[in-house]
Amino acid sequence: MHELFNIGLGGTNVPLIIMAHSLGGHIMSNYIWDMQIFDPENPVLYHPENLSDFEKFHTLTGIVTFGCNIPLFTFANSEVKTIQFPPDSLSEDLKAKARWMNFYDPDDILGYPLRPIEAYAEIIKTEDEKAINSGGWFSSWNPLSHSGYWTDNDFTKPVAEYFSKFI
């Protein structure tokens, strides 16, 4: 990503939108968390001082999670803390477009709503969390719905509409 950024995506106001399915939502959330709380006095595995604002998630404008299982990982914590979203470093123009959209199917045993967790309710608007019936006639009513988001118009249309705001 660093090379791509340096050869043509440059600038300080390039919006970053992340799409994360299933465990990918938890993994991306953890990675963003690590980048947001980085302590230069105690570097772990990476050196953010060499990264662009884009790579440090300072321009994180959108998150689209679907079939997300972040809630499964919150049970071990007495206090749930989310990533900072939208980041303070985001321009006012991009802050106005910033959204965290979460799609889940109640039949999907791996996908859950995030808003019932108080910390997430503060950053995900009610209208941006949607229960959908993902999948086709064979999969929409059972755990196979977990793989159905990718081609379900209840998911693809609102996400495409959101992306179109950046064209």
User: CB–CB of 102/129 below 8 Å?
Assistant: yes
Does a structural domain hold residue 66?
Answer: yes
CA neighbor of 70 nearest in space, from 37, 36, 102: 102
The domain of 108 spans 13-164
- Domain total for the chain? 1
Does a structural domain hold residue 48?
Answer: yes
Does a structural domain hold residue 143?
Answer: yes
Mean pLDDT of the chain: 85
Does a structural domain hold residue 130?
Answer: yes
Does a structural domain hold residue 115?
Answer: yes
Assigned token pair, 121 = 């309710």
At residue 70, what is the residue type? Answer: I
Does a structural domain hold residue 8?
Answer: no
Does a structural domain hold residue 1?
Answer: no
Task: Give the mean pLDDT of 21-30.
Answer: 94
Does a structural domain hold residue 30?
Answer: yes
Give 162's contacts (C-beta < 8 A, 6+ positions apart). 17, 62, 64, 99, 101
Pick the residue with more confidence: 117 or 136?
117
Give 64's contacts (C-beta < 8 A, 6+ positions apart). 17, 18, 19, 20, 100, 101, 102, 103, 159, 162
Pick the residue with more confidence: 123 or 37?
123
Which pLDDT band, with edges at 50, 70 and 90, does 117 fall under? very high
